[in-house]
Amino acid sequence: MSMTVLNKQSAAPLYLQLKQVLESQMVDGILAPHHRIGSERELSERYGLSRMTVRRALAELVQEGRLYTSVGKGTFVAEPKISQSLQALTSFSEDMRARGMTPTARLLRREIIPAPDVVAQHLRVEEGSDVACLERLRLADGEPMALETAYLLFEGMEQLLTLDLGGSLYALLREQFDLIPAHAVQELEARIARPRERVLLKLNEGAPVLAQQRTTSNAERRPFEYVQSIYRGDRYRFVVQLVKQGDT
Amino acid sequence: MSMTVLNKQSAAPLYLQLKQVLESQMVDGILAPHHRIGSERELSERYGLSRMTVRRALAELVQEGRLYTSVGKGTFVAEPKISQSLQALTSFSEDMRARGMTPTARLLRREIIPAPDVVAQHLRVEEGSDVACLERLRLADGEPMALETAYLLFEGMEQLLTLDLGGSLYALLREQFDLIPAHAVQELEARIARPRERVLLKLNEGAPVLAQQRTTSNAERRPFEYVQSIYRGDRYRFVVQLVKQGDT
């Protein structure tokens, strides 16, 4: 690709044009992940822009997770966001392995608890009924990616308190309990990370997260799992494919 | 429902318990939208909690869009978030009307422009090819909900510059151009609203938004639309239903 020249006559603001140039270079692989990009001064000279304009473009790219800064070292190209299908009933472990990353989990909590109101509603039991609660921090190649709180309800759930939960929960449910996820309803929201989430996921104050809620049922439509997952906004995007049914 | 008593022996922090009580009351309709909830002082007396605890619960509920404050008037119950299916190929207008809300649009920009890189990639044309660009602020009952920038490419797209775009774009495309959306790929991310988005959507600094990108194709899989939409994080949630195909 030849060096793109910014168009100072265009209606598009110069900082946006610079963002687009840098983004294209990332897409084209000219700027690879963890590649150091030039300093503000270098970029302002290369593109004939004010440092203010360069600063604004870089700040937005950092905020969007396309670049990251390392104090005293400079600004670098971030890993691309993980595109996760919202339509695959796969587990975090399976997803990460399919991407060539090593999934691990840090177990933060596991106990039998009385179901809080919202959990009871989704699992269709009385408030206060026993459910198994598993809270796990999910990591990929050692980097924290998501915080998952699962509430499970099925015959033999007490065994979850002693079984090894380092790997795929769905694989375990399938193999040990013959539980197969068949249907799920997922909700997705954007919000600001709460203090505890921030610490666990290594996020800055005010960082956005994708909060997902999923209710999973077996083939008989009996819900056995309600999960609240918090995904890092700077590392995740969700993908959905649609096909129009019928003829209108 | 009888008055829920908070459990000071529970492992669950008191502010979280108070949040759950208030959320249940909203779900049960005891606290209806735009109902004024008690002041910090009133709630701290009613539940026997410190004002700090009450403040934290209320602050999180405000941040999550469950409550809103009106300066000098108090704290009120927010409208529930709009649950939008990510699997329906419907337009904003159709969605809002199905909810009994009146959709309107404020046209911010419409012109034929040379396709920027990312747009050209999604519409599968050369960078710089002519595309129609429509930017619209979408409102429901007069309240700004989403900012939509659509890039369209089809025979006769120039007519978009003069046609009435106040209603459903999909209805217009269907009726005037025989264009029917048949497939789409959507991506969803969480990020912080940019300054211009904040002004148009009436959001505070640092407010989270759901940024959606959609590429829509006709039955022959020819992409005719690439849309970037910014949804208010405090007013929207997206829903996806999944059904496992096959037997594993």
3-state SS record for A179-232:
CCCCEEEEEEEEEECCHHHHHHHCCCCCCEEEEEEEEEECCCCCEEEEEEEEEE
Q: CB of B56 within 8 A of CB of B31?
A: no
pLDDT in tens, chain B (248 residues): 334 567 777 777 889 889 988 888 887 778 888 888 888 999 999 999 999 999 999 988 887 778 888 878 889 998 877 777 777 767 788 788 877 889 888 999 999 999 988 899 999 999 899 999 999 999 999 999 999 999 999 999 999 999 988 778 888 999 999 998 888 888 999 999 999 999 999 999 999 999 999 999 998 889 999 999 999 998 888 888 887 654 33
Residue A29, C-beta contacts closer than 8 angstroms, at least 6 positions apart: none
Residue type (1 letter), B29: G
Partner residue opposite B192 with nearest CB, options A63, A89, A116: A63
Q: How far apart are CA B188 and CA B212, in angstroms?
A: 5
Phi/psi region, residue A34 (left: phi>0; alpha: psi -120 to 50; beta: rest), is left
**Could you tell me which chain B residue has the CA closest to the CA of A206?**
B206
Partner residue opposite B188 with nearest CB, options A188, A194, A209: A188
Q: Other C-beta atoms within 10 Å of B99: how many?
A: 13
Enter the pTM of the model. 0.77
Partner residue opposite B233 with nearest CB, options A81, A116, A189: A189
Beta-carbon separation of B206 and A189 below 8 A: no
Q: CB of A158 within 8 A of CB of A131?
A: no
Residues of B in contact with A109 (CB under 8 A): none
Q: CB of B140 within 8 A of CB of B96?
A: yes
Report chain B's C-alpha Rg in angstroms. Answer: 22
